[in-house]
Structure 1
Amino acid sequence: MTETQKTLVLVDGSSYLYRAFHAMPDLRAVPGDPSSPPTGAIRGMINMMQALQKEQPGDYTVCVFDASGPTFRDALYPEYKAHRSPMPDDLRAQIAPIHEVVRLLGWTVLDIPGVEADDVIGTLARTAAAQGVRVIVSSGDKDLSQLVDPHVTIIDTMNGKVRDVAGVTAEFGVPPALMIDFQTLVGDQVDNVPGVPKVGPKTAAKWLLEYGSLDALLAHADQIKGVAGQNLRDQRDWLPTGRQLVTIKTDCDLSESLPGLPSLEGLAQRERDNASLRDFYERYGFKGLARSLEVPGKGAEPAGAAGDLPDRSAAVRRQPRSVSAAPAFGASGDLFAEPAPPGTESAPADDATAAAQAAEATELAAASALRYETLLDWPAFDAWLDRLQAAELVAIDTETTSLDAMRAEIVGISFSVQPGEAAYVPLLHAGPDAPVQLPRDEVLARLKHWLEDPAARKLGQHVKYDRHVFANHGIEVRGYAHDTMLQSYVLEVHKPHNLASLAERHLGRSGIHYEDLCGKGAKQIPFAQVEVARAAEYSCEDSDMTLEVHQLLWPLIEADQKLSRIYQLEIDTSEALFRVERNGVLIDAPTLARQSHELGQRILQLEAEAYEIAGQPFNLASPKQLGEIFFDKLGLPVIKKTATGARSTDEEVLEKLAEDYPLPAKLLEHRSLSKLKGTYTDKLASLAHPRTGRVHTHYAQAVAVTGRLSSNEPNLQNIPIRTPEGRRVREAFVAPPGRLIASADYSQIELRIMAHLSGDAALLKAFAEGLDVHRATAAEIFGLAPAEVSSEQRRYAKVINFGLIYGMSGFGLAKALGIDNAAAKNYIERYFLRFSGVRDYMDQTKAQAKAQGYVETVFGRRLYLPEINSPNGPRRAAAERAAINAPMQGTAADLIKLSMVAVQAAIDAQGLGTRIIMQVHDELVFELPESELDWVRTEVPRLMAGVAELKVPLLAEVGVGANWEQAH
C-alpha cells in the first residue's frame, strides 16, 4: 500500500450482529432482571467494532445491514432463503440500538430496502477499488470471496482468516475470479440455492481448474462421466438461475441512500460522539464504558473492561500486547481482547537489548544443533559477506511486507552456505523489543555487487518472487543457478512443491510455519513485528532447508540427461517470465469503459427484443419462465427433457432452437454478452497497477502437470476470442505512442507434434509439403483429390483432427458434427485406416503409460498418470485419454518456453527495445519500437521455428498492430 493510498473498511453488519448475539452472555440493561431489554448483542457489537477500528483504521468506514423485505432474488426464486429460521426476538429488539451505537462510533450505517447487504458491499467495494482505494471487508461470509482481487481483501476477525487472492485460492481450490462459478456448482445450503447434486467443493474446484470456467465445463458436460456428470447435465437449465442468485451485484443504484457516489467523502470516518455515547452506555447499563468517557483525554474503555461483564469473562481475557503502526492485519478481533496500553508503540531498543536479542537467536539455534546467526553489526555482516563471496553456492531467502511481488519490500534476508549454518540480517523489524538494526539501504548497497554478479551462484525456493523483491529495491539479481521449487516440479510434478512439503518429504523436517510466527487472518501481524530472534530462526531455517533439499534433489536430476534438460529449461523460463511480468502490458481503460457501455446498450436492446417476440416481459434467466414462453405460448418444439421430466431449456437446446427461431438466438446472445461485460470489460481495468497503468499478471510455473503456464490477476488465458465482442477485449491491450504490439504464435502446433510423435507417413507428407493439413486429411478420409474437397468435408476433417488429439469418442464426434453415431464411427474408422501411424501411436502410448505410470514429452518432461491402472473404468479411460494428449500439450508447452527463452536472449544480445509482454497458450506477445518492426517480423519466426528439430517443420506467424487484437 502506498503512503497516499486510502482505505475503505466495509463491515458486514448482519454477520457481526449474529456473531455478537451468539458469542455474548445474556446481558440485560438491568443486571439480573430478565424483563429488562437484552443488551448482549449490543455490547458484543461495540467490542467488535472498537477492536476492528484499532486493527483496521479506515479513511472511509461503512457498516452494512440487511434491510427487512424482499429483494430481486426472492422474485427470481421464491424459495430463496426459505429454510432460514426467523430472527430471535431478543436479537430483533437490539437491531435499532446497534444501528444507533455504530453511528455514534463514527461509522456510516446502511440498510437499504430491496438491496441485500452483500450487494451493497459489492457495489461500494468496486466503486472504491476503481478509484485506487484499498478495500477491507470484515465478514465471516465466504460468499463474499468472489469480490476479492488485488484491491479487495476480506478478513474474518472471529477465526483469524484472511481471504486475499492467495487465501481464497488456498481455501477453495480456485481463484476469486472463479468463485461465482464455484458457488453455482456447489450451491448454498444456507440460502437454499441448489447446486449440482453430489458435487462438493473438491469436485467443483477440479472441474473448474480443468475446464477454466462453468461455461466451458457445460460445453464439455457430455464428457463428464459418472453420477456427477449426469447431475451436471440435469442441472443445465437451473445453473443460470443459480449463478444469478449467488452472484453479488456490484452495480446497485445507491444514489438515493448515498447521493454523493461515486465520491466516497460522504463515507469518511467521523469523530465519535462521546456525549451521546455516554448517554447511550448509561441507558443500556454499560457503566464501565460510560465512566471511561468521563475521564478527560481518555478514549472509550477497552472491550471487556470490568464492570460490564460477568466475572466468568475474565478467564478468556488476553494479556495486553503492543500495537505497531505498520499496515497489516494485526491484533485479535476477539470479543474480549484488550488493546495495548498507551505508550507501548514501537521504539528502537538500546545496544543491550540488541545483544540480548542476538544471544537469544543463537540459543534457539544451538538447542537444535544448528548454527544460526543474527547479524546486527557491521563486523558480523562483513564476515558473512566474505563467506558469501567465497562460497560455491548460496541459498537466499527474503522476508517481506507482502505476497504481491511487484509491491513487496524487504524486511530481512537470510543466507546459508552449508547445511546447518545460516545467518539472518534483520532490516525492518519494529516493536518495543526490536534491536537496533543495520540500515537497509546500506546493507543492500553492500550486497548489490555480489547479488548482481552472474558468476556468484545462488539458490532459492521460487526465485522469481525474490527477483521481483530485489528489483523493487533497484537490484537485478543474476546468478540464480537453482530453484528447489522447480527441481520438485521436474522430478515429482504430481506432488506439492512448497518448501514445507519438500522439507518434510525429503528431510523429515517440519520447520516453523509462517502462521506460527505471525498468526492467521485478522490476528496476523506483519513479519516486521515478529520478534527478531524468532524471525531469524524461521528465515535461517528456510535458507538452510532450501540448501539441504537442493543437495538431495539436484543429483537425481543431474543423473538423468532428459530431466536435466527440462530443469534447465524451467530455470531459463523463470528468468524470462520475471522479465515478462516486470514489463506488464498497458491497459486502455477508456476503451474498456466504452465497450462496457456498448455491451450494456446491446444487452438492454436484446431484452426489449426478447420481450417483443414473447409478447410480454419475463425473466431471461428463469428456466421455468423460459419453458412457459417457449413451449406453451410460442409452441416451439421440445428438444429434450431433464431427468425429472421437465422440458429442457439448456444451452444445447437453445443452440438447436436458435437455428430456426429468433427468441432462443436472442437469449444466447444476451447470455454471452452479459458474461463478457461482467467478467471482462467491467473488471479488467481495475487490475492495472495504479503506478504503471499496466497489468502485471503472475505466471504460475509449477502448477500444470503438462508444463503449461497459468496466469492470474488477471487470467490472460481465458479471455474469450470466439465472438467478435470477445475478441474486441484484446483491443484494450495497447502499445504506448511510438510503439506497436506484435503477436507470434505457432501454426497447428499440436497436429505437428502428433505427426512427429506418431511418425504417420500421411501426416508427415502433408506438413513437409506445406499442404492444408485439414484438406489433406479430408482427401484421405473421403478418397478425393485435395482440390475436390468441399468446405464442409474440410470442416469435418478439422473436427476429427483436433478431436482425436483430445480423445474424442464416436459419440462426441457425432455431437460435434451434428451427425448420427454410426456415421461418426465410420469417419473415425476411415481416419485410422488412412492414418494407421496415429492409431499405432495411441495404442503404444497407452501401453507404455500402464507399464511405467507416466508418459514423456519429446524433450523428456515426465507426465505422471496415477489413474492409468485404476480399477475404476471411467477414471482409467480418462487417464488413457490424458496419456495420448499430455505428450502433445506438454511438448507444445516446452516449445513455447524454448521460444520465449531464445527470443529474450536475442533481444538482450542485440540490445533491442522490444519486450515480451505476454505469453498466452502457444503465443508470444511483444511491445516494440516501430524501428524494430522488421526485426520482429523476420527474426522472431525464425527463432521460434529453430528451437527444436522435429520430423515436421515448425511454423510461427507474426501479426502487428496498435493493440493485441489488431496484431492477430
Structure 2
Amino acid sequence: MPKLILIDGSSYLYRAFHALPPLSNARGEATGALFGVVNMLRATLKAKPDYLAFVSDAPGPTFRDALYAQYKANRPPMPDDLRSQVEPMLAIVAALGFPILRVGGVEADDVIGTLALQAQAQGIEVEVSTSDKDMAQLVGSHVTLVNTMSNTVLDSAGVMEKFGVMPAQIIDFLALTGDAIDNIPGVPKCGPKTAARWLGEYGSLDGVIAHADRIGGKIGESLRATLPQLPLSRQLATIKTDVPLEFGPTDLARREADVEQLRELYTRYEFKAALKELDSAAEPAGAHPVHDALRAEQHQSHRVQGALLQTEFSGPGEYELVTTQARFDAWLEELRGAELIAFDTETTSLDAMRADIVGLSFAVEPGRACYLPLGHDYPGVPPQLDRDDVLRALKPIFEDATRPKLGQHAKYDINILSHYGIAVQGLKHDSMLESYVWNATATRHDMDSLAKKYLGYDTVKYEDVAGKGARQISFSQVDLDTACRYAAEDADVTLRLHHALWPKLESVPALRRVYEEIEIPLVPVLAEMERRGVLIDGDELRRQSQQLGRRMLELQQQSYALAGREFNLDSPKQLQAVLFDELHLEAKLKTPTGQPSTNEEALEAIADTHELPRLILDYRGLAKLRSTYTDKLSAIVNPRTGRVHTSYHQGSVATGRISSSDPNLQNIPVRTEEGRRIRQAFIAPPGWWVMAADYSQIELRIMAHLSGDEGLLKAFREGGDVHRATAAEVFGLKPEEVSANQRRAAKAINFGLMYGMSAFGLARQLGVDRAEAGDYMARYFARYPGVHAFMEATRERAHHDGYVETIFGRRLYLENLNARNQALRQGAERAAVNAPMQGSAADIIKRAMIAVAAWLKDRDDAHMLMQVHDELVFEVRADAVDTVRTAVVARMSGAAELAVPLLVDVGVGANWDEAH
C-alpha cells in the first residue's frame, strides 16, 4: 500500500529539545533541538514514504480558544534557546523537500487527523510521527503512531496495552483524566487506571455519566461534581477530522531536495553525520563492507533446522543451501512432482527492469525450503552452481503451464526471470493477492505483515541480513548461510500463507471468482506492460525544459520590475523582505516564529492585492513541472530498453484500483497547458501511433446501474449530454434551456454524490451559499429517487455487514461505520457509498485489460503500454489502427453487462496528448 507519513512538527521540536543536551555550534548558536529534529527527519526519509508532510500550528487563536478561554492557558512561553532553532528547523525541513502545512483556525492535530482519515479511506497506510497521546484516537487498521526518537510503533493493540482502552475510547479517556498541558479539565483524582476501568465497565463517557450515581467514594463525588463540564472536555480533546483543506493526501509527494541549501545548513550547524550522508548519497550500492554484526551471525552449517508446527505454520522451518549438482538434481525431481511450487528470487535491486538475479528459493511443502545461490560475489564466497546451467534446467518447469506455481508479489519475480529468457507460465496463486482479495484493509500485504497477522510468525527482515541505511549492502554480498536463512524462508512463508489464506477465499465463492478471474489473470498482463515500457521523446522534454526556463526567466524579470530590484525568487527570506518590508503587503499567515509566511497558502491569500504574489506562484508552478517531469523523465529512461518503465501495484488501493509508481504515470498533469504538453513527449516509434481508449463517465454509469433509477437510466440510454439532462430534470427546464452554470451544478452533483459530497462541499465547489446547494441536492433526489434509495440502502447494508461489494463481489471493509466519532463515522459512510462505484470501475477495467491482452497475445502490431485510471494507452502500427480500435472498443465495452451502455472514447495521435 502507498504510505503517508504525517509529522507533528511541534512534537518533534519539543521532544528533541527536552531529550538532548544543550548543544551549540562554533558561533554559539543553540543546536540541540535542531540536531534531534534533523536526525528524525533523515530517519523518516529512509522509510521512503509515497507521501509525507511536516505539520505545524498556524499562528493565532483556534476554535478551541473560542470554546474555552483557559485552553492551554497554563502552557509556559517557548524558551529562547528553543525559539532560536525554529527558523533554521523550517529551513532544513523545506530543503529536505517536506511539504510544510499550517492551517489557520485549527491545530496541527486537526490537520493531521483530517489527512489521516482521508488517506485511510483512499487505501493509503498512515504513520503519524508524534509523541502526543491525544493522537491515539486516530489509530486504526491503516493508521499507526510512530515515535521516531524511541523507535516505537503504536497500533490498536499498543493503544490498548498502553492506556487500557481502545483507540475509539481515547477521547472519552482524555475527557475523564483531563490534560494538564492543554489545560483541559477532567475529573479531579481520576487517573488513567480509573478512567480505563470506568470505560471498560460502562463503554463510553456517556455510559459513565449515566451511571455516575453508582460510583462511590470521593472519586464518585468528584465525578458527579464535574458532570456539567465533561461534554466540553470531550469536545476540547476531540481531534477535528473534517477540516476543509485545499489539498489531499496524494498532493503531498516529497519535493526535490535542495542539496546545496542542505549542505550550507548542515555545515553551519556542524551536523557531520548528515553532511556525510549527503555526500555519500552518490556512492554506488554495495560500496560499504559487511557489518561486523552480520559476520557474527553467520551460520557454520548449510542447514537451518527447527521444529515446524504443521497445524499452525508458526514455527521455524528447515532450510537447505543447495551448492552441489547432486542436491540440485534432487530438488529438480521434487519440483517436477510437486502439486504446487512456491518460488522467489533474490536480486540486486527492487527495480525489476534493472535488477540482476542473485539466487532462487523454492518450497513444495510447508516448513521445508531450499536456496540456490547464483550470483553472490563477496570476497571468499564458496563455490556456487553455474547460473546459466541452473536456469536452463529450471526453464521447462517455469514455462510448463500445467505445473501450478505460487509467489508473493509474483509479478516482480516473473519480470526478473524474463531477463534470462524464461517466460513463467502457470501462476496459480499469489499470497499477496489472496490477502488483498480476502480483506484489502485488514493489513498491509507485504510478506512480513502477512506472516505476523495470519501465521503469528516473525520473519527475518531484509535489514537483518543486509544492514541499514548507508551501510546496507547488496544481497549479492550477503554470506551464503545468512542468505539461505532469509531467502528460503521467503518461499516457505509464501507457501504457509497460501495454506492459511486459500481456504478463506474458497469459503466465499464471490471472492474466489474475483481472485481467480480478475486478479491472478491480471498479473502477467501488468508484468508485460511493465516490461514493454513507454517511449519518451527526450528532445521534446529538453525543449519543454528550455521553454519553461525561458518562461521562468520572464516571470523573474517581471517580478524584478514590480519589486523595483532584483532578488532571489527561491529565497523565502528575500521574498519576505520584498513583499512585506518593501511593498508593505499585509501578511495573512505567519511562520511559527511569527514571521510573515511566503508558502503557497500565504501567497494565495494575498494574490488579489498585488501582482507579485501571483507571479511568484506561477514561477513556482513552472519550477515544479520542470524539476519533477521535464528534467526527470529523460533521466530515468532504462538503458537496456530506451524506455521508461513504471511499476503497477494491484494490492495497494482498498477499492481495487491499480496504482503506479517509479515513476507515477497516473499523475502526469493535465489541468494546465504546460502540464498537458508533457504528454506530448510520450510517443510511438516510427510507423506507429499512440492510441488512448477511455471509458466515458464509467462511475456515473455504474451508479445508474446499481441504483436502477429510471431517470438516470433514461438519460444514459438516450445517449445525450447526461449532465445537461440532469440539469433539465433538477431545474424543470427543457435541455436546450439549461444554462452553463446549471449544467455545471448538475455535473458537480452527479459526481459529488458518488464521493459523499455534502451540501457544504457542493456550496464551496459552486461558489453558492449552503442553503442554495442544499436546495440543488433536494431537487436532485426528488427527480432521482432511486439514487437516494440506493445510497441509503448501501449505508444500511454497510452498517449491518461491515463491508460493501462491487458488482463482481469484491468487498471493502469499513471499520469506522459504527464509530462514536461523528467525523469517522460519516467518512466511513461516504466511503461505503463510493466504493461500489469506484471498485466496480476498477474491476471492469481489469477485466478489459485481461480480454484485450488475450486478443493481443499473438499479434505484433499493437502493445498495451499504460493504465491510467479509466484509460488504456497503446502503441499501434499504422496499418492496424482501425482493426485494433474496433477490437479494443469491443472488449472494453464488453467487460461488464450494465443496464446502460458502457461507452469507450478512442483517440489516436503521434503522442499521448494528441490521442487523449
Taking structure 2 as the reference length, what is the TM-score of the superposition? 0.69
Q: Quote how far apart the aligned CAs of 1:516 are.
A: 2.6
Aligned counterpart, 1:603: 552
1:469-501: CA deviation from partner (whole Å, max 9, x where unpaired): 111212111111100000001112111212222
Contact 2:862–2:874 (8 Å) recurs in 1: yes
The DSSP-based 3-state class of the residue aligned with 2:808 is coil
Aligned in 2, Cα 1:234/1:579: closer, same or farther, shift over 3 Å? closer
**CA–CA separation in structure 1 for the residues paired with 2:687 and 2:262:** 37
Whether the 8 Å contact between 2:370 and 2:484 is mirrored in structure 1 is yes
Q: Does 1:574 align with 2:523?
A: yes
Cα deviation 1:513-551 (Å, max 9, x = unaligned): 333322223333333333333333332222222112111
Question: For 1:667 and 1:920, how far apart are their aligned partners in 2?
Answer: 31
Q: 331, 334, 350: which one pairs with 2:289?
A: 331
- Aligned partner of 1:351 in structure 2 is none
Query: Per the alignment, in what secondary structure is the counterpart of residue 708 of structure 1?
Result: coil
TM-score normalised by structure 1 residue count: 0.66
Picking from 198, 213, 237, the partner of 2:108 is 198
1:863 match: 812
Q: Distance in 1 between matches of 2:766 and 2:843?
A: 32
What is the rounded CA distance, in whole Å, between the counterparts of 2:642 and 2:407 in structure 1? 30
Offset of residue 892 of structure 1: 1.2
1:87 match: 26
Aligned to 2:403: 456
Partner of 1:510, secondary structure, is: coil
The aligned amino acid for 1:482 is H
Aligned residue for 2:914, secondary structure, equals coil
Q: CA deviation at 1:670?
A: 3.1
8 Å CA contact 2:304–2:320 kept in 1: the answer is no
Distance 1:826 1:610, change over 3 A: farther
Alignment of 1:338-353 (within 5 A): none
Partner letter of residue 390 of structure 2? V
**In the TM superposition, what is the alpha-carbon distance from 1:884 to its structure 2 partner?**
1.2
| Alpha-carbon distance in 2 for matches of 1:374, 1:243 | 41
Instruction: Give the superposition deviation at 1:186.
Output: 9.8
Alpha-carbon separation, structure 2, partners of 1:614 and 1:543 = 65
2:687 paired with 1:790: no
Other structure's SS at 1:966 match: helix
In the alignment, is the contact (CA less than 8 A) between 2:122 and 2:654 conserved in 1? no
Does the aligned pair in 2 maintain the 1:655–1:665 contact within 8 Å? yes
**Distance change (3 Å), C-alpha of 1:338 and 1:883:** closer
Taking the aligned partners of 2:595 and 2:745, their CA distance within structure 1 comes to: 33
The residue aligned with 2:856 is: 907
1:706 aligns with 2:664: no
* Aligned residue in 1 for 2:388: 441
Do the aligned residues in 2 keep the contact of 1:331 with 1:522 (CA within 8 Å)? no
Work out whether 1:361 is the aligned partner of 2:302: yes
Match of 1:418 in 2: 365
Tell me which residue corresponds to 2:433. Answer: 486
- In the TM superposition, residue 856 of structure 1 has moved relative to its aligned partner by 1.2
| Aligned partners of 1:697 and 1:714 also within 8 Å | yes
Could you tell me how far apart the structure 2 residues matched to 1:234 and 1:482 are? 42
Question: Which consecutive residues of structure 1, in runs of 5 or more, have no partner in the other structure?
Answer: 1-22, 24-82, 93-138, 146-160, 162-166, 214-224, 254-267, 270-324, 341-356
Task: Tell me by how many angstroms 1:623 deviates.
Answer: 9.3
Q: Which AA in structure 2 matches 1:373? A: E
Alignment of 1:630-779 (within 5 A): 666-779=615-728
SS of equivalent residue, structure 1 residue 192: helix
Shift of 1:620: 6.2
Aligned-pair CA distance for 1:614: 5.9
Deviates more, 1:788-797 or 1:667-676: 667-676
Structure 2 vs 1, CA of residues 771 and 655 (structure 1 numbering), >3 Å: closer, same or farther?
farther
Partner of 2:142: none
CA distance in structure 2 between the partners assigned to 1:424 and 1:245 by the alignment: 40
1:957 aligns with 2:909: no
Question: Is the aligned partner of 1:848 residue 2:797?
Answer: yes
Structure 1 partner of 2:12: none
Distance in 2 (alpha carbons) for counterparts of 1:868 and 1:369: 39
Matched, 1:937 2:885: yes
**Distance between the aligned counterparts of 1:661 and 1:525, measured in 2?**
54
> Considering only CA atoms, is the larger Rg found in Structure 1 or Structure 2?
1
> Shift of the alpha carbon at 1:618?
6.8
* Change in CA separation of 1:198 and 1:184 when aligned onto 2, cut-off 3 Å: closer
**Which residue of the other structure, out of 501, 507, 510, is the alignment partner of 2:455?**
507
* Partner SS, residue 906 of structure 2: strand
Q: Is the 8 A contact 1:198 1:228 kept in 2?
A: no
Q: Distance in 1 between matches of 2:801 and 2:661?
A: 34
* Bigger Cα displacement from structure 2, 415-424 vs 952-961: 415-424
Change (3 A) 1:498 1:634: closer
469 and 812 in structure 1: CA distance in 2 versus 1, 3 angstrom threshold: same
Give the whole-Å Cα distance in 2 for the aligned partners of 1:892 and 1:692: 32
CA 1:90–1:535 in 2, change beyond 3 Å: closer, same or farther?
Answer: same
229 and 424 in structure 1: CA distance in 2 versus 1, 3 angstrom threshold? closer
Q: Distance in 1 between matches of 2:460 and 2:577?
A: 61
- Contact 1:408–1:472 (Cα < 8 Å) also in 2: no
Give the equivalent residue in structure 2 for 1:536. Answer: 484
2:501 pairs, out of 541, 546, 553, with 553
Q: Is the 1:185–1:204 Cα contact (8 Å) retained in structure 2?
A: no
Q: For 2:430 and 2:26, locate their aligned partners in 1 and report how far apart those are by CA, in whole Å.
A: 55
- How far residue 250 of structure 1 moved from its aligned partner, in angstroms, is 9.2
Q: Which amino acid aligns with 2:882?
A: D
Q: Check whether the contact 1:493–1:863 (CA below 8 A) recurs between aligned residues.
A: yes
Query: In 2, are the aligned partners of 1:84 and 1:191 still within 8 Å (CA)?
Result: no
SS at match of 1:965: helix
Alpha-carbon distance in 2 for matches of 1:662, 1:231: 29
CA shift, 1:632, in A, is: 11
CA offsets, 1:703-736, max 9 Å, x none?
A: 1111111111111122110111110010111112
- Asked if the contact 2:366–2:492 (Cα under 8 Å) also holds between the matched residues in 1, the reply is yes
Report the AA paired with residue 328 of structure 1.
G
Over the matched positions of the two proteins, sequence identity in percent amounts to: 48
Asked if structure 1 preserves the Cα contact closer than 8 Å seen for 2:705 and 2:713, the reply is yes
Distance in 2, matches of 1:911 and 1:513, equals: 43
Q: List per-residue Cα deviations over 1:569-618 (Å, max 9, x = no partner).
A: 11112211101100001111221111111112112222333444566667
Instruction: Give the unaligned 5+ runs of structure 2.
Output: 1-19, 59-84, 91-99, 125-234, 265-278, 309-314
Counterpart amino acid of 1:417?
V
After superposition, the Cα gap between the structure-2 partners of 1:431 and 1:560, relative to the gap in structure 1 and judged at 3 Å, is same
Q: What is aligned with 1:497?
A: 445
Contact residue 304 and residue 318 of structure 2 kept, 8 A: no
Please give the alpha-carbon distance, in whole angstroms, between the structure 2 residues aligned to 1:608 and 1:326. 41
The one of 339, 344, 348 aligned to 1:401: 348
CA distance in 2, matches of 1:595, 1:249: 25
2:762 aligned to 813, 817, 824, which one? Answer: 813
Structure 1 position 692, deviation (Å): 2.1
Q: What is aligned with 1:171?
A: 47
Residue 646 of structure 1 and its aligned partner are, at CA, apart by 11
Distance across 1 between alignment mates of 2:432 and 2:346:
17
The aligned amino acid for 2:89 is: N
Residues 1:209 and 1:87: Cα distance change in structure 2 (over 3 Å): farther
Question: Which of 512, 523, 534 is residue 564 of structure 1 equivalent to?
Answer: 512
Code of the residue aligned with 1:364 in structure 2: it is Q
Shift in CA distance, 546/186, structure 1 to aligned 2, threshold 3 Å: farther
Matches within 5 A, 1:96-107: none
Alignment of 1:122-201 (within 5 A): 168=45, 171=47, 174-175=49-50, 178=51, 182-183=53-54, 191-193=88-90, 195-196=101-102, 198=108
Equivalent position of 1:277 in the other structure: none
8 A contact 1:576–1:900 mirrored in 2 = yes
Q: Offset of 1:662 from its aligned partner?
A: 5.6
Contact between 1:407 and 1:472, CA under 8 Å: does it hold in 2? no
Structure-2 residue corresponding to 1:428: 375
Distance change >3 Å, CA 670–CA 185, structure 1 → 2: farther
Amino acid in structure 1 at the alignment position of 2:698? I
Give the residue type in structure 1 aligned to 2:552: I
